[in-house]
Copies of this chain bind each other. A is one copy, B any other.
Amino acid sequence: MSAGNQFEVSEKVIENPDSISIKHAIDANVGSDTHIIFPLKYFEAQSGQDDESDGNITVLLILNQQINILPNLFAKLWSNASLKVCADGGLNRLRDYDSTSLTYIPDYVVGDLDSAKEENIKHYQSLGTKKVLQSSQYYTDFIKALSLINAFFNYPDIIRDIDNIDSLDELEKLEDEKSASSNVKVKTLKIIVLGGVGGRFDQTMATINQIWNLSSRRPHLHFAILNPEHTEMIVLLKPGFNFVAYPRFTPHEEIDIFGIVTDKSRPGLRNVGVLPILNDAVITTFGLKWDVENWRTGLTTKMSSSNLQVGNEGFVIRTDKHLFVDFEL
């Protein structure tokens, strides 16, 4: 902030006790630029689970990275997803994870299929999984999977004819055409991406790049990344007032929800990081151990990592730019 500004807004950091209510902040700020994120939507079977009305559809996308999350959590994710898709080698990881190889049968495996083992493809095909080969090197397996997912819910005629498309890139092209020309109101999809961060570093950054590009091109696709190496969720926040509606639970409540008490960096307190990866931003937060006010954050200056959620109802981030946030489950 230059000294010449007429209205100087000073930065502040406030250290909070380990448990606070943020009701006042929510009530005072909910407005037209409000975005509410419900992390539990991915885990809790909703009352109308089979109701695929707008906003109620969750999809599980498994990327090619070792799955190392608690079995109960995985079971919840799986049973709550309307569609399960493996991107190429994600199929191997699923089979490695599922010792019986019979519990979790994905709906699709898609990609150039240079990583998925032939024996795994055969195994899952015999159990009903559909294989969609798209061998173009122009698109990543991640993009291919998302074309399939979007088509599945929004352009069913592509899916009806999927056995007849070419094996190069017809799926991506058809989905792209439909997206550009269709005036059908598309359904919002909540896609949980298992993998893509926490492994090789260029893959982690490529995932961020692709989540950004896809969120811009297909705003009805809402993503949450689940780090398979550490039980945390990563989401993209929009400019405005973002409320992560994730109450703090007692151990008893956590067992009800997840079947277990989840790992956390500090007992009872979820780790939170506010990540200005795409650009610098000015943020104000409510419900963190170290709340900030009018705080300029950026990768080349300062950022709030290893923060903790102390807000009982969740936490709030007001930002002037897009931001990523990660938080433990």
Contact = CB atoms under 8 A, between A and B. Distances in A.
Nearest to A212: B300
Given A299-B209, A300-B212, A300-B278, A232 B271 contact: no
This chain's copy number in the assembly: 2
Contacts of A274: 202
A199 B198 contact: yes
Contacts of A113: none
A197 interface: yes
A92 interface: no
Interface string A267-279: 0000111110111
Contact of A201 (B209, B227, B300): B227
A205 B197 CA distance: 12
A275 B202 contact: yes
A263 to B, nearest CB: 11
B299 A205 contact: yes
Size bin of chain A's contact surface: 35 or more
A229 interface: yes
A257 interface: no
Contacts of A306: 202-203, 206
Contacts of A133: none
Interface of A: 197-206, 208-209, 212-213, 227, 229-230, 232, 234, 265, 271-275, 277-279, 299-300, 302-303, 305-306, 324, 326
